[in-house]
Amino acid sequence: MLSVDLESCLAAIPDRRRAEGKMYSQGGVILFSIIAMLSGARSYRQIHALIDRRLALLNAAFPTAALRRAPAYTSVRGILQRIDPDELERAFRRHAEALDRSGGAGPSRFIAIDGKTLRQSFDAFHDRKAVHVLSAFAVDHQIILAHEVVEEKSNEIPAVQTLIATLGLTGRVFTLDAMHCQKNIRDCPRHRQ
């Protein structure tokens, strides 16, 4: 059985800091930063301020992630910038999969996949297009199972195929945009699962 606990999924992310630089637990800082961002924090200073104000409440709610004191905003920034985004996505996927499987009726039968372009994500200075992200949503349990960034010189079609394959989703009903109903995709042996 997979652990449903987000704390343990985040704690499994490898900590690449030197031993001397580990004053704060990486898992605790990540978890409390996520909570701060969900509460409206939009900068490292705001994350620090929220953790500082609510540290006793956060420590009581998450004793295994407890921090002795709120890390400075520079410490928060240093920890968050060193996290491998792929490791973080894997931690979220493990947590989402465990939540999806822990439902009384088993895993969700219906998966909705859709892509969205992230607002203000283009970079004209570096000549980068806006980021396009796919989300796989387990309809029965209302859980986002995963996100997949569509490569800049590609489109949703191969990214969806990759997402379905990496999640190992078989025996499910998928809902997708009309672009995925192309004859050459539909007849592919990979999609008859």
For residue 152, the enclosing domain spans: 104-191
Is the pLDDT score of 2 beyond 50? Answer: no
Q: Which of 53, 85, 117 is the last residue of a domain?
A: 85
Q: Would you say residue 17 lies in a domain?
A: yes
pLDDT of residue 185: 55
pLDDT of residue 155: 81
Model pLDDT for residues 48-59, shown as the tens digit of each residue: 999 999 999 999
Q: Would you say residue 41 lies in a domain?
A: yes
Count of domains forming the chain:
2
Q: Write the DSSP assignment of 101-165 as a string of letters.
A: HTSTT-S-SEEEEEEEEPTT--BTTTTBPPPEEEEEEETTTTEEEEEEEEPTTS-HHHHHHHHHH
Q: Would you say residue 31 lies in a domain?
A: yes
Model pLDDT for residues 127-171, shown as the tens digit of each residue: 777 888 899 999 888 888 988 888 877 788 888 888 888 888 788
Mean pLDDT of 61-84: 93
Q: In 10 A of CB 158, how many CB atoms? A: 12
Tell me how far apart the alpha carbons of residues 155 and 149 are, in angstroms, rounded to a whole number.
Answer: 10
Q: Would you say residue 96 lies in a domain?
A: no
In a shared domain, residues 66 and 110: no
In a shared domain, residues 63 and 121: no
Q: Would you say residue 128 lies in a domain?
A: yes
In a shared domain, residues 135 and 70: no
Q: Would you say residue 168 lies in a domain?
A: yes
Residue that the structure tokens 């500082």 belong to: 52
The pairing of beta strand 173-175 with beta strand 110-117? parallel
In a shared domain, residues 21 and 71: yes
In a shared domain, residues 114 and 179: yes
Model pLDDT for residues 75-128, shown as the tens digit of each residue: 999 999 999 999 999 999 899 888 887 766 678 889 999 988 888 777 777 777
Q: Would you say residue 97 lies in a domain?
A: no
Q: Would you say residue 170 lies in a domain?
A: yes
Q: Which of 29, 50, 85 is the last residue of a domain?
A: 85
Q: Which of 85, 116, 143 is the last residue of a domain?
A: 85
